[in-house]
Structure formats: structure tokens, C-alpha cells
Amino acid sequence: MAPMVGLTHVVFRSLVKSYLPCEIKTLWPTEMLNSRRLPHERLGTTPQTIKADSENDLIPQILGNDELEIKNSIKKLEEWGAKAIDINMGCPVKKALVHNYGVALMGDSQYAKRITRFAVESSSLPVSVKIRAGLQNDPLFLSQFVEGLQEAGASWVCLHPRLAEQKRRGRADWQQIKFIKTFLKIPVVGNGDIQTCEDVFKMLNETGCDGVMIGRALTAKPWMFAKISKAVFPAIKIPVSLPESLEEEAYIYGEALKFFINESQKYFSEDQGLKRWRFFVKVSHPWLNFGHSLFAKSHKVSSYEQALEMLNTFFKAPGLKMSNYTDLKY
């Protein structure tokens, strides 16, 4: 699961887990957490750090560039129960560039290496780094950059192969994942534009990467991990029945949105929960025909109860269907 601000919180993780047999293990992220704020927060009480009692397998992602702040953040995250620490070197928003963190760290490979080494030395946990293709298209720079992370002790890297300026536009260039996989000794996780289970196997085959990370498509098809598990281990027992057609997918997507509302009541105030639910609808709706109408309706409800009523009516309408692919707008 890809770390995504406003999305990869306890409710989305618990939705994806609801389809998965307990013997299937994967890496569970948080949203990115700012290392400037983390040392002063009570972890487990902010919406980004709330976790379920059963969640003892989280890999929080930190954003930052200051050694002391990173050290203090890691210490707190270890106490909170982190299983590894991920460093964000991919966030391309203007604020990250101004404050010199996120993808801005890819402008200085020596500094990025130093931050990684420092995080590794400050922690007893594995440290991973999530990067982009860089600030400019330069394979030599990319190779030196990731080799630096490896030397600094990173346990694995995840590459989202888009340049900083592309943000999430254009296509992810999987060839770059294949490229770094040819010389890195540590595992490489590939990320970018996965929309179907077939895409997962395609990325594994085309790039030779060790793992695949899925972001946006998982919001529309939160059962994807379960489908992949079934394809790899046909004998495995999935706790719920999985959709077999695009029409069934639309129905199960509706059920997922209801699950989201019900689960939000355990963790978030109504305002916080609805805000996150609307954002979830915003990112996931392009896969549904009539998704634009669902998105508009999600802004007209002002309570959990109204949201559930709206979903009950909306998903009874005939002709609803998911699509395998959409043009990945968000």
C-alpha cells in the first residue's frame, strides 16, 4: 500500500485488511508525518497516527531534513510501535521544495545519504526510502543517488518513476525501476500506475522488482491485495467473496464506502471522518461509471447517517459498473 496523505489512515488500512486472510503479510504505511511536528504530538491521538489495536505492523513515513527532528521522531515512532521507518524523498509539493525536504532531497545526493545514514544509526528498525526518478532525467545521477542510499544502510528503496515536476501527470516510466534493479543489492519496490492485478504481475515481470506498491487504484478496488493473494495461492481462504465482474465490483465498491463510514465512527469525529470519506470518494470515483454523480452527492451530505442513506440509494440504481482503467486524474 502506498503512503498517501489524507488516505492511508487506520480506516483505509482496515478496509483493505477486511478482504485479506490473516496469513497474508504486506507492508502497511501511514500518511507522511512531518518530523518537525511529530516530536511535539501525542502519537495515537492525531488522525494520522491513530492505529487499531491489532496494527503491530506499521511502517510510518517521515518527512524532514533536520537530523535532530528526525532522531526525535524516530524515537517516538519506535515507542508507538513502528516496525520500520520510511523516509519520504518523493513529495513534490511546493512547500516541500521551499523547506528542502521530500523530493528536494534528491537535489543533493550527499545530503540524502547523510540523512539516511543518520536515520539508520538512530534506529534499531529497518529504514527504507521512497524516491522519485529525480529532479531531472539523469540515469547516472539516479544510479549514484540510490547507490548512496544503499551504502547508507537503507533496507530497501521504493521508486515512483516520475520526475518531480511531473507530480502525478504523464506516465510512470517502469524502465527506471528495471534500471536500478540491475545494480542494487537491496530490494527494490516498484510503484506507479498500477490499476489491475494483471498490472502487478506485469510490473514484476517487466522490471524484476522485488515488490509492488499500489496507491490510487486501491481506493477504488480495496480487494486487490486479496485477488492477488488468490492468484498466487489458489488454495487460500479469502474471508469474504470477491467480485467476479465489473458490475459486482461496483456493488462491492459501494459496500466499501459504507464500511468506511461505519469504521470512521470508531476513530474519527464526524467532521474528520466525512472529510476523509469525501476525499476517498474523490480519488476512487473515476473508476465508477456515474462516479461524477457520486462525487457530487458526497458533498451534499453532512452526517454519517446521511452518507449511509445516500450510499444505500445510490448503489441500488441499475447499470453501475467499474472500469479496469481510468485516466488517473488525482
Ligand X SMILES: Cc1cc2nc3c(=O)[nH]c(=O)nc-3n(C[C@H](O)[C@H](O)[C@H](O)COP(=O)(O)O)c2cc1C
Catalytically active residues, by annotation = 91
Question: Does 295 participate in binding ligand X (rule CB under 6 A)?
Answer: no
* Residue burial 74-97, b: 16+ Cβ < 10 Å; e: rest: bebbbebebbbbbbbbbbbeeebb
Length of the chain equals 330
| Sole binder of ligand X in the list 48, 73, 191, 326 (CB under 6 A) | 191
From 119, 135, 147, 106, select the one nearest 61 (Cα to Cα). 119
Measured CA to CA, the distance from residue 145 to residue 153 in angstroms comes to 13
Upper half-sphere CA count for residue 111 (Cβ side, 13 Å): 14
Q: Does 229 bind ligand X (CB under 6 A)?
A: no
State the SS3 of 29-71: EEEEEECCCHHHCCCCCCCCCCCCCCCCCEEEEEECCCHHHHH
- Shortest Å, Cβ 161 to ligand X: 9
| Nearest C-alpha neighbor of 11 from the set 232, 255, 266, 323 | 266
The residue of the chain with the least Cβ separation from ligand X equals 215
Query: Quick one: which segment of 12-20, 51-59, 87-95, 230-238 binds ligand X (CB under 6 A)?
Result: 87-95
Which span (86-94, 285-293, 296-304, 314-322) binds ligand X, by CB under 6 A?
Answer: 86-94
Per rule CB under 6 A, is residue 193 in the interface with ligand X? yes
Asked if residue 189 binds ligand X (CB under 6 A), the reply is no
- Shortest Å, Cβ 213 to ligand X: 7
CA gap 294, 288 in Å, rounded: 9
Contact range with ligand X by CB under 6 A, out of 43-51, 71-79, 83-91, 175-183? 83-91
Q: Is 186 in the site for ligand X (CB under 6 A)?
A: no
What does the per-residue mask of binding to ligand X show for 136-175, with x meaning CB under 6 A? Answer: ------------------------x-------x-------
Whose cell is 516520475? That residue is 162
Q: Would you count residue 70 as binding ligand X (CB under 6 A)?
A: no
Q: State which of residues 35, 49, 61, 123 lies at the interface with ligand X (CB under 6 A).
A: 61
In angstroms and rounded to an integer, the radius of gyration of the C-alpha atoms of the chain is: 20
Residue with smaller CB distance to ligand X, 2 or 294: 2
Cα–Cα dist 93/110, whole Å: 22
60 binds ligand X (CB under 6 A): no
- What is the helix, strand, coil percentage profile of the chain, to 5? 50, 15, 40
Integer Cα distance of 188 and 146 in angstroms: 10
One character per residue 254-293, x = contact with ligand X (rule: CB under 6 A): -----------------------------x----------
Indicate whether 322 belongs to the interface with ligand X (CB under 6 A): no
Site string for ligand X, 199-228 (x = CB under 6 A): ---------------xxxx-----------
Cβ closer to ligand X: 162 or 315?
A: 162
Task: Indicate whether 330 belongs to the interface with ligand X (CB under 6 A).
Answer: yes
- Residue 318 grid cell: 441499475
190 binds ligand X (CB under 6 A): no
Q: Helix 304-314 vs helix 246-267: angle between axes, to the nearest 10 degrees?
A: 170
- Helices 109-121, 67-80: axis angle to 10 degrees equals 40
Q: Nearer Cβ to ligand X, position 26 or 306? A: 26
Residue 319 beta carbon to ligand X: minimum distance, rounded to whole angstroms: 27
Residues forming contacts to ligand X in the complex (CB under 6 A) are 2-7, 31-32, 61, 88, 90-91, 130, 160, 168, 191-194, 214-217, 283, 330
